[in-house]
Amino acid sequence: MQDEQIKHMVDRFLAWKLPSKFNPDNGISFNRVVNGGTEHQYYREPMGTNLLDAIQAAEMVRFMVEDFPTGLEGTLAETA
């Protein structure tokens, strides 16, 4: 995998809108509803992560693709 491909994956990862069921663990808190029950109530819609910066995300992607298998048939949905 080339550095440019990894950078693209990192950029996409950091820009990804988190799902509505985002549920952080290990003591990290997240309150989607702000000012609940008031006329100023709104919903946070975070994207990416503030757990990693771009350099750390690149290291994670490099770790994920290390020894990446090739030529496998099927899709993730088929194997789940």
Residue 76 lies in a domain: no
Q: Exposed e or buried b for every residue in 58-68, given b needs 16+ CB within 10 A? A: beebeeeeeee
pLDDT one-digit tens code per residue, 7-48: 888 888 888 877 777 777 777 777 889 999 999 999 988 777
Structural domain includes residue 79: no
Residue showing tokens 């350099």:
55
Contact 2, 9 (CB under 8 A): no
Alpha-carbon gap, residue 64 to 5, rounded angstroms: 13
The answer to whether residue 57 is domain-embedded is yes
pLDDT value for 71: 67
Is residue 75 in a domain?
no
- Residue 7 maps to a domain: yes
How many domains, the chain? 1
- The helix (H) or strand (E) run that includes residue 7 is helix 3-15
pLDDT of 76 over the 70 cut: no
Residue 77 located in a structural domain:
no
Task: Pick the more confident residue, 27 or 72.
Answer: 27
